[in-house]
Amino acid sequence: MLETGMKAPVFTLPDQEGKMVCLSDFAGKKVVLYFYPRDNTPGCTRQACAFAGAYEEFAKRDVVVIGISKDSVASHLKFAAKHALPFVLLSDPELQAIQAYGVWQEKKLYGKVSMGVVRTTFVIDEQGCIEKIMPKVKPDTNAAEILAYLAGEA
């Protein structure tokens, strides 16, 4: 179980263009790492578009935004292009980062139990430590809540 203050698990995953991205590539920068269930679903699209809409604010604060799901590189490329997403989407079909961050959990939907990604956001500090964990976030308010946190308002 990850907790604030712990070193963030490192990973190397392909982005929407197939380029390998490592968490350590962003050493010295604050990183907002959000895990989401699936490209092009209503909630995930709203969450991604909210991050895209707030992207300038994150950039002004020199904060990197990264979205991770188990979708393929090709799916991420289409999703990013369709919604003009200006940030990195990482493909994790083997659940490398998803399991390392503990977001692969049992979920209940309409009484049916299955395993899946629980929408969770991590703020990782410039030294690579977990600064904040936001479990079970709401897609529509997640980006705004993080900006409020970064501004010292939350």
Q: What class is the 12-18+40-150 domain?
A: alpha beta
**Alpha-carbon distances, residue 140 vs 27, 36, 44, 47, 128 (angstroms):** 29, 13, 9, 6, 27
Q: Quick one: average pLDDT of 61-78?
A: 97
**How would residue 110 be classed by pLDDT, with cut points 50, 70 and 90?**
confident
**How would residue 108 be classed by pLDDT, with cut points 50, 70 and 90?**
confident
Q: Quick one: average pLDDT of 32-46?
A: 95
pLDDT over 80 at 154, yes or no: no
- pLDDT at position 8: 97
Mean pLDDT of the chain: 95
Active site residues: 44
CB of 115 closer than 8 Å to CB of 37: no
Q: Quick one: average pLDDT of 68-93?
A: 97
- pLDDT at position 1: 80
pLDDT tens-place string over residues 5-24? 999 999 999 999 999 999 99
Q: Which residues contact 32 (CB under 8 A, 6 or more apart)?
A: 51, 58, 63, 64, 65, 66, 121, 122, 123, 124, 146
- pLDDT at position 107: 86
**Closest C-alpha to 141, from 59, 53, 40:** 53
- pLDDT at position 109: 78
pLDDT over 70 at 85, yes or no: yes
The DSSP letter of residue 26 is G
- Sheet containing strand 63-69, edge to edge, reads 88-91, 63-69, 30-35, 120-124, 130-134
